[in-house]
Amino acid sequence: MYSSYGSWCQVEFLKSNWDLCWCDPRHVETAMAALDPVRRDDGRRVCHFRNHYELTRKNLLSRNLSRLRRRYVREGGEEKASLCDIMPLTFELPGDYKMFTEHHRKNPEDIWIVKPVTGSQGRGIFLFKRLQQLREWLRNREPAEEDGDSGEQSRGGTTHIVQRYVHRPSLVAGRKFDLRIYVLVTSFCPLKVWVAREGFARVCTHQFSLEHLDDKLGHLTNTTLRLRNDPSDTFGSKWPLMDLRQWVEFNHGKLAIMGLVHDAGRLVLTALTAAQTAVSHDPHCFELYGFDILIDADLRLWLLEVNASPSLAPSDADDQRLKHDLLQDVFNILDFEGKLTGKERRVGGFDLLCNGEPLWAPVPGGRQVDTRYLNLYLGCENNRQKQLLEIWSKAAKTRSTAVK
């Protein structure tokens, strides 16, 4: 896309006069190669980091979390190491098959879920309890296919993970749901992270039941899967985070929702920290991630996956408004026009969660408190237009003072 910096317009792919390349993850290398080495300080931006898959491939994310946990243990921080336990127990297939079968033998009552390490829309996912079901699937699985975002293959088929299933999820009206949270990373070194106030919960179409493990519409929340099964279905839907926040507060109290939001911030920071040393930082890159998070019956959060290309196609009018505002604020934060001071803790609908180190929510009156909370406001009021006007007004006054 080209601006410089009036109205944005779409130009031919990687034409010389472009400011922003918004592309599929598979085209990142092409976009980076198009940046003229002589003009690498020209402010052009690409919407993915080169090896974003260190965070967005489920097996690599699990490995990176395990590595970070071992580092924390070596440093003597058992409590800190426990922060890395944000994904259910995970094994890779086919590499960890023997290790998994040994664990299954000791824990025969556990329920497991198989997922491709890449992919979307619920494809290739199934639940099982008996080991024989996994063996039959391994015998009948598809021939080797190349995974789209990194070109990795595994002998005998695409790499999958098998993960302990969270069998006691929090339910609404008897249905399972998970959260989609939007996270913007503008730098991995130092780590700079923004989190959108708005997102949604995705609610399953069917009632949750462990008696029917083959009922995908009772266990998977993916919207595309629901619409593919029944385009006229209206129950399985997206639920605004503001509504979910009120529901949690009504059922569990205000402290519970404050704790959940804080835990969501810690989860995001832990996942990004785990991948931080593996991801190739480049000042021309940024990335808008979609974090999918499950709340269990004990109000513990579990990271299901991180999406490199969260769908921005609207499913209804409310969803269109949300995603329009989301993208507009991404551009506001990238600040091609140079309006920001760099000291903002909020821009539109995004709050700054980390700027080299985690940011903490200000305490009214500056008083001392026993518990500090991260600067995160999921599901809170999003008066973004008013907030943006305040930012632009302050920026204009600053520029005017500087000219004088």
81, part of any domain: no
**Residue 197 counted as domain residue:** yes
- Name 313's Cβ contacts closer than 8 Å, sequence gap at least 6: none
245 and 380 part of one domain: yes
Q: What is the 3-state secondary structure (H, E, C) of the chain?
A: CECCCCCCECCCCCCCCCCEECCCHHHHHHHHHCCCHHHCCCCCEECCCCCCHHHHCHHHHHHHHHHHHHHHHHCCCHHHHHHHCCCCCEEEECCCHHHHHHHHHHCCCCCEEEEECCCCCCCCCEEECCHHHHHHHHHHCCCCCCCCCCCCCECCECCEEEEECCCCECEECCEEEEEEEEEEEEEECCEEEEEECCCEEEECCCCCCCCCCCCHHHHCCCHHHHHHHCCCCCCCCEEEHHHHHHHHHHHHCHHHHHHHHHHHHHHHHHHHHHHHCCCCCCCCECEEEEEEEEEECCCCEEEEEEECCCCCCCCCHHHHHHHHHHHHHHHHHHCCCCCCCCCCCEECCEEEEEECCECECCCHHHCCCCCCCECCCCCCCCCHHHHHHHHHHHHHHHHHHHHC
198 and 327, same domain (yes or no): yes
Residue 301 and residue 278 share a domain: yes
Whether 40 and 105 map to the same domain: the answer is no
Neighbours of 216 (CB within 10 A): 19
Q: Mean pLDDT throughout 343-349?
A: 95
Q: What is the C-alpha separation between 369 and 152, in angstroms, rounded?
A: 49
The answer to whether residue 152 scores a pLDDT higher than 50 is: no
* Residue 294 located in a structural domain: yes
* Same-domain pairing of 182 and 39: no
Q: Count Cα neighbours of 372 within 13 Å in the Cβ-side half-sphere.
A: 11
Predicted confidence band of residue 44 (pLDDT cuts 50, 70, 90): confident
List the CATH number of the domain containing 187: 3.30.470
Q: What is the overall mean pLDDT for the chain?
A: 86
Domain residue limits at 99: 89-165
Total-model pTM? 0.91
In a domain? residue 56: no
388 and 369 part of one domain: yes
Same domain, 227 and 284: yes
> Residue range 122-151: average pLDDT?
74
Residue 251 sits in the same domain as residue 393: yes
396 in any annotated domain? yes
Q: What percent of the chain has pLDDT over 90?
A: 61
Give strand pairing partners of 203.
Answer: 177
**CA 364 to CA 229: how far, in whole Å?**
49
The Cα 200–Cα 264 span in angstroms is: 14
Both 266 and 159 in a single domain?
no
The tally of domains found in the chain comes to 3
Lowest mean pLDDT among 213-222, 294-303, 393-402: 393-402
For residues 223 and 262, state if they share a domain: yes
Assign residue 99 the CATH number of its domain. 3.30.1490.20
- pLDDT score recorded for residue 37: 60
With cut-offs at 50, 70 and 90, classify the pLDDT of residue 60.
very high
Per-residue pLDDT band at 388 (split at 50, 70, 90): very high
Any domain includes 74? no
- Same domain, yes or no: 328 and 395: yes
User: Which domain-ending residue is among 114, 140, 165?
Assistant: 165
Q: Model confidence at 368, in pLDDT bands (50, 70, 90)?
A: low
Look at the chain and count its residues. Answer: 404
Report yes or no on 144 lying in a domain: yes
Domain membership of residue 285 (yes or no) is yes
Per-residue confidence (pLDDT) for residue 313, from 0 to 100? 85
Place of tokens 């000791």: 106
CA-nearest of 201, 202, 206 to 175 is 206
**Together in a domain, 255 and 284:** yes
Distance CA 54, CA 67 (A): 12
Kindly state the average pLDDT of the residues 123-142: 88
